[in-house]
Amino acid sequence: MDLSFQVQAKIQKPLGVVFDAIHNPETLSVYFTTGGASGVPKEGTKALWRFADFPGDFPIFVKKVIPNELLVFEWEALGRFGERRGYNTRVEMSFESLDQGSTLVRISESGWKETQEGLDSSYGNCHGWTQMLCCLKAYVEYGIILRRGYF
């Protein structure tokens, strides 16, 4: 069994605006990485994401970037309570222009160990990426920061 998932959302903004909202660490820090983000994701580099709900830095190891099309990175798998598991999962974010004013964002993650802990962790991340897409939509479409005061 391959432990993986995919979530998606239609964002009613042009492709370039949506891609930049995820790729630009200053913008990402406003609505999602509540503890900040550093480093523009470029192939072969490491960027750091921080979250108010999980302590510490979360390095993302950038594998591929195709502007306005694809962002692929790996990061360390977490246990149920945020403990680091010692292996990486792979995140792929794809962007598709639906028309001049809308973009489809798909986020998939894979690579958990086929254990109950891996399954639990994948469910947690599925929840997190769904929340991220909701936060992205609220922010770029309406200027609302859903995570403010959330944690």
pLDDT tens digits along 15-48: 999 999 999 999 999 999 988 999 899 999 999 9
| pLDDT at residue 132, as a whole number | 96
Q: What is the DSSP letter of 146?
A: T
> What's this model's pTM, rounded to 2 decimal places?
0.93
**Tokens standing for residue 131:** 């929340």
**Cβ atoms 42, 65 nearer than 8 A:** yes
| pLDDT at residue 150, as a whole number | 75
- Digit-coded pLDDT (tens) for 117-148: 889 899 989 999 999 999 999 999 999 999 88
| pLDDT at residue 44, as a whole number | 96
Q: What is the DSSP letter of 118?
A: H
- Digit-coded pLDDT (tens) for 39-87: 899 999 999 999 887 778 899 999 999 999 999 999 999 876 677 788 9
The domain 4-142 is placed in CATH, from the list 3.30.530.20, 3.30.9.10, 3.30.930.10, 3.30.420.40, at 3.30.530.20
| Distance between CA atoms of residues 136 and 151, nearest Å | 17
- Digit-coded pLDDT (tens) for 3-18: 899 999 999 999 999 9
| pLDDT at residue 81, as a whole number | 67
| pLDDT at residue 34, as a whole number | 87
**Tokens standing for residue 98:** 């639906």
Mean pLDDT of 102-115: 96
Q: In 3-state terms, what secondary structure has residue 5? A: strand
| pLDDT at residue 85, as a whole number | 81
